Amino acid sequence: MTAPDRSLPPRPAKAAAAPKAVGPGRPKDLGKRAAILEAAKQMFTQQGFDGASMDQIAAAAGVSKLTVYSHYGDKEALFAAAVKSHCEQQLPTSLFDPMPQVALRDRLLAIAQAFYSMISSPTAVAGHRMLCTPQLAGSPLPQLFWEAGPKRVQSDFANLLERRVAAGELQISDVPRAASQFFTLLKGEPHARLVFGCCEANAGGDTDAHLAATVDLFLRAYATAGTPAGRGTH
């Protein structure tokens, strides 16, 4: 009897892999997005919200107006994104890492210096003045600004405070309120004078003294007796 043929049928030739479609790369898209944001910051600072047009922003960014709208939808959303970008560049979330190996006063002072440097910049001062104008007072922009900037900063700082409370260095019953107090105290009279045009940033060399005094005041209110910077404050 003839043995059955156990040989396998020949395999079909493997189809060649289809070439991948070549489309716009991610770095190119991110580059356009960054260019739009920088142009928006410049235009909003120079022209105000009403004076800055999407055509101007597109031209300054070197993109089409359609590209601006495809990234941000409308001018209000672009304004919020510009505020958020400015805050994240000046005060990245990493700035609020607990860093338990660093003395509490040093951590607070570093944050204070970065925060004041941001709010006293010409861009930030111009933005603050713009938001206080009657034209924008009743618009959604102040709320958009708050959500995109101060709210995020205070939330990140509150997380740092929570960890220092857990470590026994601070005693705070209302951490969000304490975070708000810290940044309000840092702005104080010097920032108000900047917005009113009464003085230049760092005028008289008093800024460093103001920031150090504010940090010490905060620690006198909330540092525990066992914290080096807080000994003798209770």
What pLDDT is recorded for position 88? 85
pLDDT at position 201 over 80: no
What pLDDT is recorded for position 87? 83
What's the pLDDT tens digit per position in 37-80?
A: 999 989 988 888 889 999 999 999 999 999 999 999 999 889 88
Output helix, strand, coil percentages for the chain, rounded to the nearest 5.
70, 0, 30
- Residues 28, 154: Cα–Cα separation, whole Å: 33
pLDDT at position 135 over 90: no
Average the pLDDT over each of 20-29, 34-43, 195-204 and give the range with the smallest value. Answer: 20-29
Greater model confidence, 65 or 7: 65
Coil, helix or strand at residue 3: coil
pLDDT at position 111 over 80: yes
Residue 91 CA to chain centroid, in angstroms? 5
Which amino acid is present at 40? A
> What is the mean predicted confidence (pLDDT) over 173-200?
92
pLDDT at position 115 over 60: yes
**Is it true that domain 89-230 has CATH number 3.30.420.40?**
no
- Residues 143, 156: Cα–Cα separation, whole Å: 19
The residues spanned by each domain of the chain are 28-73, 89-230
**Averaged pLDDT score across all residues of the chain:** 83
Is the pTM above the cut of 0.85? no
- Confidence grade of residue 155 (pLDDT, cut at 50, 70, 90): very high
Residue 117: how many CB atoms within 10 A of its CB? 16
The answer to whether the 28-73 and 89-230 domains have the same CATH topology is: no
Average the pLDDT over each of 62-71, 73-82, 90-99, 220-229 and give the range with the smallest value. Answer: 220-229
Q: Which CATH number is associated with domain 28-73?
A: 1.10.10.60
